[in-house]
Amino acid sequence: MGSDSLELLRNTLLQIRTLSLRNMPSGQNIDESCSQFKALNSERPLQLLADWVQEAKDLGMAEPDAMNLATVDAKGNPHNRMVLMRHINEREIGFFTNLESRKAADIFATQRTSSTLWWPQLGRQVRIEGTATEMPRDMVEAYYQSRPRKSQIAAWASKQSTELASMNRLHQDFRQYEEKFSDKTVPTPTFWGGFTILVDKIEYWHGKPFRLHERIVLTKGEQNWSTTRIYP
């Protein structure tokens, strides 16, 4: 089967999944709980998030680890944008960015973040709250060197979040760095890094018929995590 046929098959399966969520028959058992919620483990609160991201990847969804990241600056002004969640373990998630960007300035000022991942085709959402800290340089170096070469060069060319006179200027800067590093490995810029978010609250949302959705919240206490079911 060719790549075009595989892509068509993936899209068809996703459309079927979406329609099944929106058009569930009225006779369906609405009392049945999400089977994956039954396996939630307060000792591993992020495991279901990792499972859902992997399932989205397996289905061929575009950017399955895309998340909306909200931050607050020193004056209390909120900002949000899309980033890619490129790190996850039992206690934290992480993403990479320019350390001179607005999001980085917000994090350095207040540290608190809120993130949302949403997979409409699967009828699932995850909301995360936590405290962000700068990522260790060895993690940054390892990820940066795994990126496509042109993406590495683009990191050098972009003065993220600052005023840009024209797209021509950005392209000129890109070509300049492309020539500069033409015969060598592209080094990781000192201004490029990442942040890990130590999670202290995570909410799993599972869509169900008639808007009788399921929401489970796991919250970190002084010693243990608590699990609470809340109204949709």
Contact 195, 107 (CB under 8 A): yes
Answer CATH for 39-145+188-230 from 3.40.47.10, 3.30.2320.20, 3.40.640.10, 2.30.110.10: 2.30.110.10
pLDDT at 159: 96
Contact 209, 24 (CB under 8 A): yes
Return the H-helix or E-strand segment holding 140. Answer: helix 137-144
d(CA 128, CA 194): 17
Catalytic residue among 169, 175, 211, 229: 211
User: Would you write out the chain's pLDDT as a tens digit for each of its 232 residues?
Assistant: 566 656 665 665 565 555 445 444 344 455 556 767 776 877 899 999 999 999 999 999 999 999 999 999 999 999 999 999 999 999 999 999 999 999 999 999 999 999 999 999 999 999 999 999 999 999 999 999 999 999 999 999 999 999 999 999 999 999 999 999 999 999 999 999 999 999 999 999 999 999 999 999 999 999 899 999 999 9
Q: What is the dihedral of CA 127, 132, 138, 140, to 10 degrees?
A: 60
Q: 117 pairs with which residues across the strands?
A: 126
Return the H-helix or E-strand segment holding 169. Answer: helix 167-180
With vertex at residue 3, the alpha carbon angle to CA 119 and CA 61, rounded to the nearest 5 degrees, is 5
With vertex at residue 158, the alpha carbon angle to CA 152 and CA 161, rounded to the nearest 5 degrees, is 135
d(CA 197, CA 51): 19
Contact 192, 134 (CB under 8 A): no
Please report, for the chain, the start and end positions of each structural domain, with discontinuous segments joined by +.
39-145+188-230
pLDDT at 2: 63
| Side-chain-facing half-sphere of 106: CA atoms under 13 Å | 20
> Is 211 among the catalytic positions?
yes
Q: 94 pairs with which residues across the strands?
A: 87, 196
